[in-house]
Chains A and B, each alone.
Chain A
Amino acid sequence: NGAASGNTSPDSKTIRIAYQAFPSGDLVVKNQGLLEKALPDYEIKWTKFDSGASINTAFVAKSLDIAAIGSSPVARGLSAPLNIPYQVAFVLDVAGDNEALVARNGSGVTDVAGLRGKKVATPFASTAHYSLLAALKQAGVAESDVTIVDLEPQDILAAWTRGDLDAAYSWLPSLDELKKTGKVLISSRQLATAGKPTLDLGVVSTAFASAHPEAVDAWRKVEAQALDLIASDPAAAAKSVAQELNLTPADAQNQLSQGVFLKPADISSDEWLGTEAKVGKLADNLVSAAQFLKEQQKIDAVPDLTTVQKSIYVKGLPDVLG
């Protein structure tokens, strides 16, 4: 199989894309076959993954060319020992109200500081985990003062219902259920404002990007097109997302509405990817995420800023998205 061979030769016309089951423009692209239309010569293989960790693994195995992946795993992937040769080429969405820290009614917790001595659940190694720790730090709560439990979102819901948890940092759709019997302490939208955004990124393997720059351009264009669709015709976008996630269109639209979807033009702003001339603040964001991981002893060393900046794929920006 293609695991070891990679996909770097210019005449190989296959794109292997990893997508995840979170509502984003990526699902619209897949559902409407936008990329297939844009690149009729290419064979496009969509593969569903359920975590950034497994996407990183698949990149290590040289089984992927393009992927939708959270910023936290990207920070890991760019750091030692992984040092995955991929580049960030797109911002799919920024976590907004679709990821939040909720305290269960009856736990007596009303703000983040009140979490001391309480039991909080979140899926480890996820963007939510990152946000939770950021929120605690912001509120001046030491991590050791809180019992943090590693649970998948569906398991959080189960434990929550039993009353085993006091709070949880989770995302949609289970977040909606949590909100019904709980109070939002802080959401990722607020953290983003406070300088700790978590994002879903599009990454491209370096080898693929240098071998097929035109394909990367096409991909960025259709992703931008999808973002436009989300902004202009949420119902149509929701319909596509719903089909991919086996949801009702209404559910999908509700979920989409809670995320932050950038305007294509904003992506090449200094706030995010930046341009060929000046790489944007996303690099700093990734470095700070890596620093955070280093504190957690989860990575060996924090990559320096220039290395990370090289891993931002700004080729052709801002014109490509223009």
Chain B
Amino acid sequence: MSSDSAAVELANVEHSYGDVTAVGPVSLSVPAGEFLVLVGASGCGKSTLLRLIAGFEQPTTGTVLTGGRAPRPGRGAGLVFQQPRLFPWKTVGGNVALALRYAGLPTDRVDELLAGVGLHDVAHRRTWQISGGQQQRVAIARALAVDNPLLLLDEPFAALDALTRERLQEDLRRVSARTGRTCVFVTHSVDEAVFLGSRVVVLTARPGRVALDLKVGLPRDGLAPDELRGLPEYAALRSQIGHAVREAATVSEKAIGPEGVPA
């Protein structure tokens, strides 16, 4: 499974918080340019996995590599946390500008970046003067401000309405395809997983292990989103993954070997 050029490489990674094992041994190799979607029950360890890849947690056992090296926060990976985590002492625009400043980029693209997530006329507002979904979008704009080769997104669209969500999904898919970025994307929406992912990994309940690892071989080029969703393979994948998620969530810790879901 492993490859030297992998953007993200997890080898037998396990992570425990004290005596709570959050992520069971997981081995995953994400080639550069892949759009990996992680799906799994609430509390199964998705965020922990993302934090491991971002370098915020050290694996209890096993090794994590990004771009062949031990991950360090802020080096080569953009991260959207599950919570917006905006700085209240900065305006909305100031939050985005900060990301640009850290990357040494000019800060005049703030409005453009905010417009990219559907936000207009809020750059001067305080972070508590915008709605929950708007905060989430500011966090996305902040993480996307800089072109990192790796993007880690933890349920970024959870607080968005269907329309906005679809637009941003489409944007994200287009951008990542065009620039060849690697994405690791956590979601609870099976539809989103199929629509976005070039590969979908379903995790078991805590401690999260790989229950299903599926390449999504949908023909994407030139298809409008609605056309894509209309494909029969699309529906098939949806139901397959949906099924796997339900299965995996109920799999008990014991019943599952290190290799994945039993046949």
In the complex they form, do A and B come into direct contact, defined as C-beta atoms under 8 angstroms apart? no
